Amino acid sequence: MTTPPNASTAGARRVSHSSYATGFVGSLEGLRAVAAYGVVLTHVAFQTRLDPATPLGAIAARLDYFVAVFFALSAFLLWRRHRTDRAFGAYYLHRCARILPAYWACVCAVLLFLPEAFGASPAVAAAQLTLTQIYLPQGLVGGLTHLWSLCIEVAFYAALPLLAIAVGRLASRGARLAVIAAAACLSLGWAWIPAVAATPANGWPNMQIWPPAYASWFAVGLVAAELEPLLRGPDGSAAASPGARWARLAHAALRRRWPWWALALLIAWVAGQEWFGPLGLTHPGPAQFSLRVTGGALFALVVVWPYALAPSPRDALAAPAARLLGRWSYSVFLWHVAVLAVAFPLLGVPLFSGNPAHTALVGLATLAASTAVAAASYELVEVPARRAITARWGARRPQRPEHAQP
């Protein structure tokens, strides 16, 4: 299922001859697995009430920042491939084939079989199926609440061709970077808009979590894609152009993985403090929300940029096992909340017990079961459906590596 590097590079040349490097980066596939399991662990920590006053609890409370990693990865991989691409029909076909079959399978199963989702109205059920639940008051359903973030990501997919036309066509990289940075900064003011700050209330959905709020998370990936030609050669080595000493220094710094992971944990710990903003389901004020989003952008930057801009085949995340888990990561993300809902009664563990032993037990069980369900979903739903859709609708482009299909 994974396209060899030489095949994907050749395909990329046919898609967009002016794109920079679109070759396979194995460690990004493995990074998707880390992000998916990070999201699983933050939900386990919340539902077992791991004490956020402890260092471990504070970090676990903000592992939801791995959603920002997903957003940044999507933006990086798609922008480097499609900034100059105008084959929008094929692009949308591949996005739908990648996202919808496994998503619909999960949503239908949860609505039909998970008690937490029983009682959803036809309108709410339809919203789940159309990825519009965040635009509906009380539109989130038990077992599927985490999929609000997928609504955001799908909105980005839909908007990417428009961004390519409006921003990608700018001849100057500096101009593109300036526009992206300006949009990211402006998006931090989204929560301050009076109409947004007034929600959720009076029959209105929570507009605070609508797509514009998270533009900075996608900007992390867009900027990385723009910087890639400056920082590294097509083979992954440091740039060798004249006057590129700063780029070689940056490349060398990015190759040192552990300081960046340490910085990511520090950001998560700081963001997990009560003074930083409310944890759990407490609705943040505009300032608190903007600060939270800023923290997520920084977290995504220090996690994604080292692997995107200074990749190495020796990375642990580029190992076959990590890449396999990365291919399953989308379904891990889809199914883990439903699996978590089933794990508590099966294990005899009460919700919000505050017992660290329960956190460990539920966490291990949920990770294992979610991985098994995801493997089945990938092999039985994702792969066959994607092949059938692309064959049926006559997609002519070679299939991308899995990590390039976020």
pLDDT digits (tens, 9 = 90+) for 108-129: 999 999 999 999 999 999 999 9
Task: Say yes or no to pLDDT of 20 above 50.
Answer: no
Q: How distant, in Å, are the alpha carbons of 41, 69, 323, 327 from that of 36?
A: 9, 10, 13, 11
Residue 245's pLDDT band (boundaries 50, 70, 90)?
confident
pLDDT tens-digit readout, 141-192: 999 999 999 999 999 999 999 999 999 999 999 999 999 999 999 999 999 9
Can you tell me the distance from the alpha carbon of 131 to that of 177, in angstroms, rounded to the nearest whole number? 30
Could you tell me where the DSSP H helices lie in 143-172? 148-163
Residue 242 pLDDT: 46
Cα 62 from Cα 265, distance rounded (Å): 9
51-65, 83-97, 392-406: range with highest mean pLDDT: 51-65
CB 87 within 8 A of CB 161: no
Q: Which of 358, 278, 338 is nearest to 62 (CA)?
A: 278
E strand or H helix at 262 = helix 257-271
What's the chain's average pLDDT?
Answer: 91
Q: Are 39 and 336 a contacting pair, CB within 8 Å?
A: yes
For residue 403, pLDDT beyond 80: no
Tell which residue, 56, 68, 45, 59, has the closest CA to residue 272. 59
Model pLDDT, residue 8: 35
pLDDT per residue as tens digits for the range 247-295:
888 989 999 999 999 999 999 999 999 999 998 889 999 999 999 999 9
* pLDDT for the residue 248: 83
3-state secondary structure 290-327: HHHHHHHHHHHHHHHHHHHHCCCCCCHHHCHHHHHHHH
Q: How many whole angstroms separate alpha carbon 370 and alpha carbon 179?
A: 40
Cα atoms in the 13 Å half-sphere on the side-chain side of 168? 23
Helix axes of 383-392 and 88-113: crossing angle, nearest 10 degrees: 140
Which of 17-26, 185-194, 271-280, 335-344 bottoms out in mean pLDDT, i.e. has the lowest? 17-26
Among 196, 202, 212, 211, smallest CA distance to 283 is for 196
Neighbours of 234 (CB within 10 A): 12
Question: Mean pLDDT across the stretch 49-68?
Answer: 98
Find the mean pLDDT for residues 374-379.
Answer: 99
Q: What is the pLDDT of residue 85?
A: 86
CA distance 406 to 399: 13
Contacts of 235 (CB under 8 A, 6+ apart): none
